[in-house]
């Protein structure tokens, strides 16, 4: 009798940790931050800091606080103007791939980022979809932008197409700066989020931006442990 009880207890424990590990794996969400490095990010805020200074600090603060095994990456656009201003609308780059234990790479890359180009949001989102290639489960893009698409792309239509095609990628959009008074900017950025069932938020300060990014990269990270007896 004691042997049976012991074996049942061991089975329950093994099943518990197996089920818990599966639940933890299933709940993991891959996250890609896309940071706007268009020239307008050189503009100053009311604090006399530039938008890019505040954005880099906010991204650094959030990334530093994440668990080391968070699957996260960083893509930028507008960081290059192209040769004599040519091909600016294709200047987007994955500077840190989506993977765990990636914090130090991202933090190192963020230090040297400088605004220099235009705003190819639609093209950057299209490229970002490929950054998730090979990943199962939920995926999230966190787009930080201070303005509209400037490359004749239509990010709103692109986001709607993603949803219609059944791709499991949500796009959270953070409108950075005083865009609340600009209906065109606010409308386009809101549409991207709504079309993919993502979150939309506005940020005018460092604290606002940290909260907004943090809300996105930590969403769906709660793990619910369950016991599934294997007998």
At 1 the pLDDT is 55
> Facing residues of 169 across strands?
139
Q: List, for residues 108-145, the tens digit of each pLDDT value.
A: 999 999 999 999 999 999 999 999 999 988 999 999 99
Coil/strand/helix, residue 38: strand
Are residues 175 and 203 in contact, defined by beta-carbon separation less than 8 angstroms? yes
Length of the chain: 231
At 3 the pLDDT is 53
Closest CA to 174 of 207, 151, 150: 207
Q: List, for residues 20-44, the tens digit of each pLDDT value.
A: 333 333 347 999 999 999 999 999 9
β-pairing, 72-77 with 92-99?
antiparallel
Task: Output the pTM of the full model.
Answer: 0.82
Are residues 30 and 134 in contact, defined by beta-carbon separation less than 8 angstroms? no
Q: Give the alpha-carbon dihedral of 14, 18, 24, 28, to 10 degrees.
A: 160
Residue 88: which residues within 8 A CB-CB, separation 6 or more? 78, 80, 81, 82, 117, 118, 120, 151
Q: List, for residues 156-213, the tens digit of each pLDDT value.
A: 999 999 888 878 899 999 999 876 556 677 789 999 999 999 999 999 999 999 999 9
Q: Burial of 13 by CB count in 10 Å (0-12 exposed, 13-18 middle, 19+ buried)? A: exposed
Q: What is the DSSP letter of 117?
A: B
Alpha carbon distance 63, 56 (integer Å) = 11
* Structure confidence at residue 55 as a pLDDT band (50, 70, 90): very high
HSE-CB of 74 using CA atoms within 13 angstroms:
24
At 164 the pLDDT is 83
At 26 the pLDDT is 39
Q: List, for residues 58-112, the tens digit of each pLDDT value.
A: 999 999 999 999 999 999 999 887 655 668 899 999 999 999 999 999 999 999 9
Q: What is the DSSP letter of 86?
A: T
> Facing residues of 32 across strands?
73, 141
Closest CA to 45 of 213, 206, 212: 206
CA distance from start to end of the chain: 17
Q: Angle at the Cα of 121 (from 115 to 124), degrees rounded to 5?
A: 90
At 183 the pLDDT is 66
């Amino acid at each position: 009798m004691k042997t049976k009880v012991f074996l049942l207890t061991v089975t329950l424990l093994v099943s518990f940790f197996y089920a818990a590990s599966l639940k933890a794996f299933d709940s993991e969400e891959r996250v890609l931050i896309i940071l706007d490095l268009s020239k307008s990010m050189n503009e100053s805020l009311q604090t006399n800091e530039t938008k890019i200074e505040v954005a880099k600090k906010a991204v650094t603060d959030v990334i530093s606080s994440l668990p080391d095994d968070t699957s996260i990456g960083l893509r930028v656009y507008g960081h290059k103007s192209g040769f004599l201003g040519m091909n600016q609308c294709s200047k987007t780059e994955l500077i840190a791939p989506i993977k765990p234990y990636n914090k130090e790479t991202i933090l190192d890359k963020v230090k040297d980022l400088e605004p220099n180009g235009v705003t190819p949001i639609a093209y950057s989102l299209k490229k970002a979809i490929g950054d998730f290639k090979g990943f199962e489960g939920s995926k999230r893009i966190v787009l930080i932008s201070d303005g509209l698409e400037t490359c004749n792309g239509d990010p709103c239509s692109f986001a709607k197409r993603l949803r219609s095609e059944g791709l499991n990628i949500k796009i959270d959009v953070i409108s950075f700066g005083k865009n609340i008074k600009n209906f065109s900017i606010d409308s386009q950025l809101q549409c991207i989020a709504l079309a993919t069932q993502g979150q939309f938020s506005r940020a005018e300060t460092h604290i606002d931006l940290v909260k907004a990014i943090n809300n996105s990269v930590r969403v769906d990270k709660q793990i619910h442990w369950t016991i599934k007896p294997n007998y």
